[in-house]
């Protein structure tokens, strides 16, 4: 019965997104409108690295001239055993194993009360994460943003992950990455010396233990080194990830200690 009601919920949410003009639009990290569409992502799993994760960020736009109190729910539409997932919208939630919670948060969950007020004509960031671990196959999710005072006013985007088995022979081996000093106080240097990666266009992202993104840089292997300002980061452990388009190709830890 619960699965049946959940399926009806998905259908109604889909209908609201297509049946009427929504207050919200959803854009990917390239500024492409993906409202009501599918965002595909492919990459290897990480059987030996429990910290490795795939990050997909979206901008949620409020098309009204007045502020809107928005909420986001995640629907696991395709379960991939051996993976976990979570998202951040205003706050970051704890990781959930695949198949453990079909819809999060539901109205009975304490987290359902969480919300983000988006000013008129402005945007808010939705961060989504998948930890592939040992999973191989397809994992898929629907993220729905809706108006707290009118839940039928909603928009969604589907994410489909194609996770393959890590063979040990891929682009990761071509990126030689070192951080120094580490621990860092005011600054650290990301050194690419010795890398033979063929695609020079990369995005460097610094996230905390909960997956919240704090910094993002555009760079290339050809530049050799990148200075990262850690002055505004609080003490703790962070993860520095190298991303090529939609694929994370390298992740390493950074410790900040002032």
Alpha carbon distance 107, 73 (integer Å): 10
Beta bridge partners, 58, equal 126
- Consecutive H or E run containing 8: helix 2-19
Q: Are 93 and 111 in contact (CB under 8 A)?
A: yes
CATH architecture of the region 2-164: Sandwich (2.60)
Alpha carbon distance 258, 86 (integer Å): 29
pLDDT at 14: 41
Alpha carbon distance 18, 99 (integer Å): 27
pLDDT at 237: 87
Alpha carbon distance 28, 117 (integer Å): 20
- Mapped onto helix, strand or coil, the DSSP state of residue 83 is coil
pLDDT at 195: 72
Q: Are 95 and 86 in contact (CB under 8 A)?
A: yes
pTM of the model: 0.68
pLDDT tens digits, 147-189: 999 999 999 999 999 998 876 544 456 777 889 999 999 999 9
pLDDT tens digits, 46-103: 887 787 888 899 999 999 999 999 999 999 999 999 999 999 999 999 999 999 999 9
Domain with CATH 2.60.40.10 in the chain: 171-256
- Mapped onto helix, strand or coil, the DSSP state of residue 165 is coil
pLDDT at 167: 60
Query: pLDDT higher for 109 or 178?
Result: 109
What's 223's DSSP letter?
G
Domain with CATH 2.60.40.2310 in the chain: 2-164
pLDDT at 30: 82
Query: pLDDT higher for 14 or 150?
Result: 150
pLDDT band at 4 (very low <50, low <70, confident <90, very high): very low
Alpha carbon distance 80, 134 (integer Å): 10
Alpha carbon distance 37, 31 (integer Å): 14
- Residue 149 CB coordination number (10 Å): 8
pLDDT tops 90 at residue 252? no
As a whole number, the mean pLDDT across the chain is 85
pLDDT tens digits, 122-136: 999 999 999 999 999
DSSP states of 197-212: -S---EEEEEEETT--
Q: Are 230 and 185 in contact (CB under 8 A)?
A: yes
pLDDT at 98: 97
What superfamily would CATH give domain 171-256? Immunoglobulins (2.60.40.10)
Alpha carbon distance 253, 50 (integer Å): 12
């Amino acid at each position: 019965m619960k699965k049946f009601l959940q399926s009806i919920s998905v259908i109604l949410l889909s209908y609201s997104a297509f049946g009427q003009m929504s207050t919200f639009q959803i854009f990917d990290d390239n500024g492409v409108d993906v409202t009501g569409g599918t965002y595909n992502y492919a990459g290897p799993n990480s059987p030996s690295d429990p910290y490795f994760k795939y990050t997909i960020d979206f901008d949620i736009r409020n098309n009204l001239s007045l502020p809107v109190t928005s909420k986001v729910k995640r629907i696991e539409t395709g379960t991939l055993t051996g993976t976990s997932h979570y998202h951040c919208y205003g706050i970051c939630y704890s990781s959930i194993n695949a198949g453990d919670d079909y819809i999060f948060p539901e109205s009975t969950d304490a987290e359902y009360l969480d919300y983000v007020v988006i000013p008129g004509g402005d945007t808010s960031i939705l961060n989504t994460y998948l930890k592939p671990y040992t999973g191989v196959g397809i994992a898929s999710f629907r993220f729905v943003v809706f108006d707290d005072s009118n839940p039928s006013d909603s928009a969604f985007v589907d994410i489909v992950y194609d996770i393959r088995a890590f063979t040990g022979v891929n682009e990761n081996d071509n990126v030689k990455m070192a951080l120094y000093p580490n621990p860092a106080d005011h600054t650290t240097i990301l050194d690419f010396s010795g890398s033979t990666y063929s695609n020079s266009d990369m995005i460097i992202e610094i996230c905390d233990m909960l997956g919240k993104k704090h910094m993002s840089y555009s760079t290339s292997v050809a530049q050799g080194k990148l200075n990262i300002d850690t002055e505004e980061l609080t003490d703790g452990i962070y993860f520095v990830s190298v991303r090529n388009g939609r694929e994370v190709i390298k992740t390493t830890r950074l410790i900040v200690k002032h």
